[in-house]
Structure 1
């Protein structure tokens, strides 16, 4: 497996490719993203272990979007069956993906646990949906300190798992090695990932501004707040689906394709025709 080093400007290209490919199959990719998020939300309803199970499903959900985006980039229509792609590629890779999920859940809960040392767990309860976010809580110094600590700790956790699902699925790399190769690839391509993150931040801010203007115009012509709220939620879901669509291009450009594939594997993400 060869690691590719790409120029910083590639980060902007990843964003462009994610948006372009999303609009080739907007309904299919939006539906798949919604279904994966719905499955994780339903998992939280399980007694006691619900939140941990939902967290453990995130690497599999990420892989589903990566495979779907790779399909769309090759002008094929992603199907809802891709939601289970992590669970139907053989026992070895199934166990590897389950291990990734368990490690991610432990890591995320560890981040929340460390933040709880600062504010007694208030930020963790709000973030995990166990408590409402009030103005008084948000303005608390301890809450803000816990929030910034959690954000700081989540960055390396995210980089560890960024490429890991793809490495397990397409390169058959063991979970621990996949985590190592993932963070090394992100570090070696630090410039490209910085541009990638800043570019997506710009996209989100621009979309937020556009939605604010739209809501103001709708209010001016007497359109109800419920419709405006629905538009904002739909836009947020589409932006999130676009973001996850772009992840496969960061993976594709960071690692050379595997030399061979096992029968039954999905094809590795190939060159995007718009590349």
Structure 2
């Protein structure tokens, strides 16, 4: 496995490939994304253990959505079983993915707790809530970078959990220009779609209809964004040999 350094303009290519792949298999990819969201919502309702279990499964779920994209990009129809790809690649890979999940859970809980403490010094409750949310998201940013490529590195390249986190950070740093363009590209897409839907909904039925249309549209856009993540990994790393899991698509 070796790192590829891509030019900044590749970020726009990742956005375009994500959209094109989603359009190619919209029902399957949207359905899998909504299935993932439904599982998250159900797990979050479990008292005390819900957040812990949810965090533990985040890397595996991320890998499942990436595997679904790889299937769709290869012209295949992704089945629901692709969401558990992390647990179909052997005991060693599954254990490594759960180790990643444990690290993510601890990191996320620490960032959330610290964010609440650091953002709690404003006078009003609303301001305190906004400040806490902003600080919490900011503290999660290093965690997102560490886990951006880590699940895929563990699954498709057999990289140990600790090394996968390190390599993910290095890859994100070396391809920072492309990732910034990628993020700005998606921001532009979200703003453009939101503006158009808001105008159309407002003209057709007022603010109420506009809000009604925006909710499912935002979920579809989130599903489309998740589809594009696979391409950021595929172009950032190259395999030295054939993939080791025949049941899953190669990057």
Please name the residue that 2:248 is paired with: 266
Please name the residue that 1:180 is paired with: 166
1:41-56 to 2 correspondences below 5 Å? 41-56=41-56
Please name the residue that 1:137 is paired with: 125
1:130-209 to 2 correspondences below 5 Å? 137-138=125-126, 140=127, 142-209=128-195
Separation in 2 of the partners of 1:120 and 1:152? 15
User: How far 1:71 sits from its partner (Å)?
Assistant: 0.8
RMSD of aligned Cα (Å) = 1.9
Q: Give the 4+ runs in structure 1 shifted more than 6 A.
A: none
- What SS is found at the alignment partner of 2:177? helix
User: How far 1:258 sits from its partner (Å)?
Assistant: 4.4
Count of residues paired in the alignment: 250
User: How far 1:119 sits from its partner (Å)?
Assistant: 4.1
Separation in 1 of the partners of 2:202 and 2:152? 42
Separation in 2 of the partners of 1:146 and 1:47? 23
Separation in 2 of the partners of 1:212 and 1:238? 15
Please name the residue that 1:69 is paired with: 69
Q: Deviations over 1:125-172 (max 9, x none)?
A: xxxxxxxxxxx633x2x4443333222222111010000111011001
Per the normalisation by structure 1, the TM-score is 0.85
Separation in 2 of the partners of 1:70 and 1:254? 15
Check if 1:244 corresponds to 2:232. Answer: no
- Unaligned ranges ≥5, structure 2: none
Q: Deviations over 1:83-114 (max 9, x none)?
A: 11111111101111111111111111111111
User: How far 1:265 sits from its partner (Å)?
Assistant: 3.9
Please name the residue that 1:20 is paired with: 20
Separation in 1 of the partners of 2:106 and 2:231? 27
Flag the 1:45–1:147 CA change in 2: closer, same or farther, 3 A: closer
Q: Going by fraction, where is helix more abundant, 1 or 2?
A: 2
